[in-house]
A and B are shown apart, each in its own frame.
Chain A
Amino acid sequence: AQTVTQSQPEMSVQEAETVTLSCTYDTSENNYYLFWYKQPPSRQMILVIRQEAYKQQNATENRFSVNFQKAAKSFSLKISDSQLGDTAMYFCALGEGGADGLTFGKGTHLIIQP
């Protein structure tokens, strides 16, 4: 069975700093996808970034980028120039090629301090 582990329950950084959230996963599939979702206090689940396992190039979306280490089964999220609006729970998620439901980690509560 697939698993997703986020080892940092909470992190706090100052505004404008760079922060990296960790995620490791386990799957026996070769075709899979990895995602980071953001859940602000409104509780809405917002897709931040995605990575296809077959792509070697790390995904980037504006201030958000990932470090995808396939052999190590690691998928970390880097947020540059952090903003107060980045304060939220961040969930790492794994989706396998059969397009079944996503497997989520327990989440990291990120707090951006002014």
Chain B
Amino acid sequence: DSGVTQTPKHLITATGQRVTLRCSPRSGDLSVYWYQQSLDQGLQFLIQYYNGEERAKGNILERFSAQQFPDLHSELNLSSLELGDSALYFCASSVAAGQNPNEQFFGPGTRLTVL
């Protein structure tokens, strides 16, 4: 158990819908990262938040957005869902951006299925 929690574990929805994935980082971790794992794209970094502020962006679509709240939990919002958005979405956390050893701890993931 990494100490990172994600809800829900599974999510099934239809095309065009909007969903919210939730992540709680390890106690004391300030950084939260979101990743997408799909069969064709592999594991891709989406976005990072550090202490409530957006820190870095990866291959995140404009239909996707995220935020980190004062209690440091984070939410990833996916809208206008397409079949290709079906994937495993991971949240990871780390102590602080820029501090060694840049080690990230992953949550169990949310499996999103778009029908």
Interface centre among B42, B55, B99 (most CB of A within 10 A): B42
Q: Are A45 and B101 in contact (CB under 8 A)?
A: no
A102 near B106 (CB under 8 angstroms)? no
Determine the interface band of chain B, counting residues with CB < 8 A from chain A: 20 to 34
Contact present for B103 and A47 (CB under 8 Å)? yes
Mask, B76-115, CB within 8 Å of A = 1, is 0000000000001010101011111111111011010000
Most buried by B among A46, A100, A104: A100
A107 contacts B42, C-beta separation under 8 Å: yes
List A30-76 residues whose CB lies under 8 Å from chain B: 33, 35, 37, 42-47, 50, 52
The prevalent SS among residues of B at the interface is strand
For A95, list chain B residues within 8 Å (CB).
102, 104
The verdict on B48 contacting chain A, using a C-beta distance below 8 Å, is: yes
Considering the complex, which residues of chain A in the window 81-114 have a beta carbon less than 8 Å from any beta carbon of chain B?
91, 95, 97-107
With A and B bound together, what is the CA distance between A4 and B68 in angstroms? 29
Give Cα A104–Cα B46 distance, bound, in whole angstroms.
12
On whether the beta carbons of A101 and B105 are closer than 8 Å, the reply is: no
Contact status A106-B42, CB under 8 Å: yes
Contact pattern, B 37-53, Cβ under 8 Å of A = 1, otherwise 0: 00000111111100000
Residue in chain B with minimal CB distance to A91:
B43
> Lowest 10 A-B CB distances belong to which pairs?
A101-B45, A45-B106, A100-B56, A104-B43, A99-B97, A95-B102, A99-B98, A33-B102, A101-B58, A99-B102
- Residues of A that sit less than 8 Å from B by CB: 33, 35, 37, 42-47, 50, 52, 91, 95, 97-107
B residues apposed to A, CB below 8 Å: 2, 31, 33, 35, 42-48, 55-56, 58, 88, 90, 92, 94, 96-106, 108-109, 111
Known: A50-B103, A99-B94, A99-B97. 18 other contacts (CB 8 A): A33-B100, A33-B102, A33-B103, A43-B108, A43-B111, A44-B106, A45-B90, A46-B2, A47-B104, A91-B43, A99-B98, A99-B99, A101-B35, A101-B46, A102-B35, A104-B44, A106-B42, A107-B42
